[in-house]
């Protein structure tokens, strides 16, 4: 994008393959609804033409890395606590594009309504993954050994 668009609000409904994006201007008007691939390259291509936007998304499997990419592009990223954003996941008119718009409108109106969360940094996330992997190994070992001990003591 050749021209820069400044200071609006984006809502992104994250998915495994294709994200739905809603862009609101400073007056709250929808200026664009689009679908983009959920890859780093696609995010950089689509959002490097924007400066200083507030970006809202729900916490989920992709939100940590997507939020880091968008923050590196200079955006303010708000990650909504999925369990606390009832108007998004409890809607009777549920669709991804509407979810993206609701996230954008909520962030524009009052960001605290998103009950924002902060993801761990990449290093802390890697350490946590090691701990979880170790715990899984210990549990698997215990489930194999405990029946043997029970049979010996009987």
Domain ranges of the chain: 5-114, 120-154
Q: What is the pLDDT along the chain (154 residues), one digit of tens a residue?
A: 334 556 789 999 999 999 999 999 988 999 999 999 999 999 999 988 888 899 999 998 899 999 999 999 999 999 998 877 766 556 666 788 888 999 999 999 888 888 777 776 778 777 778 888 989 998 988 888 888 777 766 5
Topology of domain 5-114 in CATH is Nucleotidyltransferase; domain 5 (3.30.420)
| Closest by CA position to 5, among listed 43, 39, 42, 31 | 31
Q: Whole-model pTM?
A: 0.73
d(CA 121, CA 92): 35
């Amino acid at each position: 994008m050749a021209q820069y668009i400044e200071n609006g609000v984006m809502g992104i409904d994250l998915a495994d393959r294709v994200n739905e994006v809603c862009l609101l201007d400073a007056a709250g008007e929808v200026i664009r609804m689009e679908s983009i691939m959920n890859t780093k390259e696609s995010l950089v291509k689509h959002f490097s033409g924007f400066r200083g936007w507030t970006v809202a998304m729900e916490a989920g499997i992709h939100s940590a890395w997507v939020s880091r990419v968008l923050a590196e592009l200079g955006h303010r990223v708000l990650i909504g606590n999925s369990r606390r954003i009832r108007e998004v996941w409890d809607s009777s008119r549920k669709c991804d594009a509407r979810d993206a718009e609701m996230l954008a409108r909520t962030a524009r109106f009052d960001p605290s309504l998103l009950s924002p969360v902060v993801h761990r940094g990449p290093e802390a996330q890697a350490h946590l993954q090691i701990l979880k992997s170790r715990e899984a190994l210990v549990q698997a070992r215990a489930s194999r050994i405990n029946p043997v001990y029970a049979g010996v003591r009987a």
